[in-house]
Amino acid sequence: MNAAGPALNRELDSSTPWTVASPMRDADVRSALIRELRRRHRGESALIVEELGVCQGEARVDVAVINGAISGFEIKSDVDTLSRLKGQIVVYNRILDYAHLVTGSRHLDKAVDVIPSWWGVTSARREGQQIVLMDVRPSQPNPGVDARATVELLWRDEALAELKARGFAQGLSRAPRSDLWDELASQVESDELRRAVCERVKARSRWRARPSPRNAPQSPWWTELLPSVAAS
């Protein structure tokens, strides 16, 4: 099951303090979304990542789920603007297998007119002391994933290991990572490549803890690997 699965129609407590007069902020929506994703993917081997850098840092996905696919959730709260959304769409369309916009009522109508038809849309609203998430439309598979963008999620040693496993690494042991990415994207079928990238990313032990701000630009701020039923 991909992260586009069942409707996000659960009422979830927000851990962010607020008053009746305060607008719904990114942290409020993010907290509710992550709780729902944890619930939905419980029992799977899925990695939940905040602020996932993609396309060599061109954009960061607010929340991503990596299992057998790469699913991304872009949050636009009531205090955000849509000024960056068009640029984010261009980048996300290259790499995400499923894309989802999670937005407050302030931006809902306008955002639906901007995003591609295959993107999912979820509304977020506050009811009392709860954040309520409700699907407006489900996401569909991305019809135009760029294999080269997908493979850019791999670190150099990971890319080289994938090439060696397939017998394509001859003469590339000292090649820059861009050459390794090119070779993988051209030699490996897209579905197989996606699965390999997802498994490599989920296996990264250094992504288990929150890094300091001095870490590499593409390091996520927070990750959580949900164990599969077999591993639990």
pLDDT of residue 20: 45
Question: Are residues 162 and 65 located together in one domain of the fold?
Answer: no
- Which residues contact residue 58 at a Cβ distance below 8 angstroms, ignoring those fewer than 6 apart? 91
- In this structure, the answer to whether residues 90 and 181 fall within a common structural domain is no
Is residue 6 in some structural domain?
A: no
Q: Identify whether residues 121 and 20 lie together within a single domain.
A: yes
- Any idea which of 14-23, 121-130, 196-205 has the lowest mean pLDDT? 14-23
Are 213 and 160 in a shared domain?
Answer: no
Same domain, 103 and 195: no
Domain that residue 188 falls in: 147-202
Q: What is the pLDDT of residues 27-64, one digit of tens each?
A: 999 999 999 999 988 888 889 999 999 999 899 999 99
pLDDT beyond 60 at 15: no
Averaged over 209-224, what is the pLDDT? 44
Residue 24 lies in a domain: yes
158 shares a domain with 80: no
Are 111 and 63 within 8 A, CB to CB?
A: no
Q: Phi and psi of 26, rounded to 5°?
A: -55, -45
Based on its alpha-carbon atoms, the radius of gyration of the chain, rounded to whole angstroms, reads 18
Q: What count of Cα atoms within 13 Å lies in the side-chain half-sphere of residue 31?
A: 17
- For the chain, how many structural domains are there in total? 2
Query: What is the three-class DSSP state of 54?
Result: strand
d(CA 225, CA 203): 9
Query: Do 190 and 216 fall within a single domain?
Result: no
